[in-house]
């Protein structure tokens, strides 16, 4: 199994030595194209906590044709959700890496009520009851964008297969057409960014992921942010929420409580 290769490529142990404050779990919810990946990268740079994108992890397995990748590639290509137990296993593996000790951004997870319930107990047992964190309750941020704008964003998206940078031919083009600014790699269009698959992904979000937002809303955990602003303005709104609610360490010296 190519887990080690996947791990190396995704930088699982980078920044493990940073002595910075504990942020805890941050969940970014939102439909395809809302800007979860774009914002996760900025939060990562700001707090030095890793982005845990289930979409990126799954695509990496597909790229490397691991047994898991082979199993899920047709599901992703259709725009449907990968079965809960497979996604939860990947997330568990990723959150147990040492660079996740101060916190992490979950980009695209949880996406079903089962995943949300699984996450609650995982965080409780692995981070709270072990004494690492003062709370296991995530900060849940929903990025909201109008349906028609989502279509334009997704069809204009280009990504770098080397560094994962996200561009948009309309709103955030690279300096040289179709080439990554950071490393000169030719940009690609994601396989599931085809018109018929985009609609299926948007429908799947309505049916299966909207109830997750309602679940967190009932718990008083949900913050909704207008994603129809500049990338900088969306980032500023997200950082403000995180600064106000970060969970702190179990000793209480940094904790703000939840």
Question: CB under 5 A: which stretch of 50-58, 128-136, 178-186, 241-249 binds Zn ion?
Answer: 178-186
Residue 187 touching Zn ion (CB under 5 A):
no
Residue nearest to ligand AP5 (CB): 55
Residue 78 has φ and ψ, to the nearest 5°, of -85, -10
Active site residue 132: no
By beta-carbon proximity to ligand AP5, the closer residue of 156 and 161 is 156
Q: Which is the catalytic residue, given 36, 59, 94, 245? A: 36
C-beta neighbour count of 159 within 10 angstroms: 20
Contact with ligand AP5 (CB under 6 A): which of 61, 94, 142, 153?
A: 153
Question: CB under 6 A: which stretch of 61-69, 73-81, 117-125, 176-184 binds ligand AP5?
Answer: 73-81
By beta-carbon proximity to Mg ion, the closer residue of 37 and 79 is 37
Active site residue 201: yes
Q: Which DSSP helix (H) or strand (E) runs through 224?
A: strand 222-226
Q: Which DSSP helix (H) or strand (E) runs through 204?
A: helix 195-204
Per-residue CA distances from 103 to 8, 78, 95, 236 (Å): 19, 32, 9, 19
User: 116 CB contacts (<8 Å, ≥6 apart)?
Assistant: 110, 212, 215, 216
Residue 37 touching Mg ion (CB under 5 A):
yes
Cα separation, 137 vs 179, in Å, equals 40
**Residue numbers of the site for Zn ion (CB under 5 A)?**
160, 162-163, 165, 180, 182-183, 185
Active site amino acids = 36, 111, 157, 190, 201
């Amino acid at each position: 199994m190519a887990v080690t290769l996947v791990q190396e490529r995704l930088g699982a142990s980078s920044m493990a030595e940073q002595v910075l404050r504990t942020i805890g779990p941050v969940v970014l919810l939102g439909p395809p194209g809302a800007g979860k990946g774009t914002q996760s990268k900025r939060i990562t740079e700001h707090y030095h906590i890793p982005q845990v994108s289930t979409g990126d992890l799954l695509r990496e397995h597909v790229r490397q044709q691991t047994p898991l990748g082979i199993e899920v590639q047709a599901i992703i290509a259709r725009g449907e959700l990968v079965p809960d137990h497979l996604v939860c296993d990947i997330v568990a593996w990723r959150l147990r890496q040492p660079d996740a000790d101060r916190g992490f951004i979950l980009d695209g997870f949880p996406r079903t009520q089962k995943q949300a319930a699984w996450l609650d107990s995982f965080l409780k047992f692995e981070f709270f009851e072990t004494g690492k964190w003062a709370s296991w309750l995530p900060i849940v941020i929903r990025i909201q964008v109008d349906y028609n704008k989502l279509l334009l964003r997704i069809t204009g998206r280009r990504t770098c297969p080397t560094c994962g940078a996200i561009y948009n031919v309309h709103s955030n083009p690279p300096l040289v057409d179709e080439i990554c600014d950071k490393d000169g790699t030719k940009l690609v269009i994601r396989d599931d960014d085809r018109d018929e698959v985009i609609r299926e992904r948007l429908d799947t979000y309505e049916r299966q992921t909207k109830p997750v937002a309602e679940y967190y809303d009932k718990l008083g955990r949900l913050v909704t942010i207008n994603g129809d602003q500049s990338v900088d303005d969306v980032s500023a709104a997200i950082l403000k929420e995180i600064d106000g609610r970060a969970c702190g360490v179990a000793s209480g010296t940094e904790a703000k409580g939840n």
